[in-house]
Chains A and B, each alone.
Chain A
Amino acid sequence: GESVGLHLPTLSVQEGDNSIINCAYSNSASDYFIWYKQESGKGPQFIIDIRSNMDKRQGQRVTVLLNKTVKHLSLQIAATQPGDSAVYFCAEPTAGGTSYGKLTFGQGTILTVHP
C-alpha cells in the first residue's frame, strides 16, 4: 500500500532482547518482499528478502516470516544490539512483475535499542 509515514510505530527494547517488527502489505499478487534498515543520515540498507513461495527465510541474526493468508510480514532480530537502532521498512515491487525497480514502502518502524 501507500506509505504514510506521519506517525511511525516505535519499538523500544533492551540490548540482548529479540525484536519483532511487523508489516502489512496490500497486494496479494506480490511475489517478492524486502526489508530495509535506514540509519539516521543514510539511505535504506538491504537486510533480507523473501519470495512468496517461501514462509520463512533466515539470515544472520534476522528472520523474515511471510503469512500470505493475512498479507503480513515480520522481521525478527535476535539478540538486538544498539547498532540495530534504526528505522525499518518493508517494501514490495508494484510494477506487475515486469520490474523490481518500482518499490512501494511501508510506513516504517523506529527501533530503539537501549544498552
Chain B
Amino acid sequence: KAGVTQTPRYLIKTRGQQVTLSCSPISGHRSVSWYQQTPGQGLQFLFEYFSETQRNKGNFPGRFSGRQFSNSRSEMNVSTLELGDSALYLCASSPQPTSQPQHFGDGTRLSIL
C-alpha cells in the first residue's frame, strides 16, 4: 500500500507570493492533518480535516488555509508568504480522526527568498 504522498517535494518562492501544497493520504484514509516543522519551533499542528470538514485548527495566522476534497486528498495554501514561512510542511493521514496512529509523508520543503 502506498504511503502518504506530498507534492511537490521542494519549492522556492519569494516574499509576497502564495503557494499551494498537496497531500494524497494512504488509500482508505479519510483523516488528514498538516504540520509545520522549523528548527526554531519544532513540529507544530496546522489543521485537521475529515470528510471535507476542518475539525481542528492550530494557532497560525489566516494566511494559512486548507481544504479537503471528496477523495480525501488535501491541499494547504499559504498566501502573502513571509521569510518565516520557510519550513518543512508535513501531512499525516489515518483512517478516521479517532484512529491511531497518524502516518506521515516526507513533506514539502518550502524556501522563501
Q: Measuring CB to CB, which residues of chain A are less than 8 angstroms from any residue of chain B?
A: 2-6, 32, 34, 36, 41-46, 49, 89, 91, 94-95, 98-108
Contacts and interface: CB of A to CB of B under 8 A. Distances in A.
Given A5-B39, A6-B40, A44-B90, A103 B45 contact: yes
Interface stretch (B11-19, B77-85, B96-104): B96-104
Contacts of A42: 106
Interface string B37-50: 01111111100101
B101 A99 contact: no
A103 to B, nearest CB: 6
Q: Is the interface of B mostly helix, strand, loop or mixed?
A: strand
Contacts of A105: 35, 42-44
A21 B62 CA distance: 36
Given A4-B41, A43-B90, A108-B42, A101 B33 contact: yes
B103 A46 contact: yes
A40 B4 CA distance: 17
Interface of B: 4, 31-33, 35, 38-45, 48, 50, 55-56, 58, 90, 92, 94, 97-107
Of B38, B39, B102, B106, the most chain A CB neighbours within 10 A belong to B102
A89 B43 contact: yes
A66 to B, nearest CB: 15
Contacts of A3: 41-44
Nearest to B105: A43
B41 A5 contact: yes
Q: Is the interface of A mostly helix, strand, loop or mixed?
A: loop
Contacts of B38: 5
A32 to B, nearest CB: 6
Given A101-B48, A101-B56, A102-B45, A41 B106 contact: yes
Nearest to A94: B45
Given A43-B107, A46-B103, A95-B56, A101 B94 contact: yes
Contacts of A103: 33, 35, 43, 45, 92, 102
Contact of A49 (B45, B92, B100, B104): B100
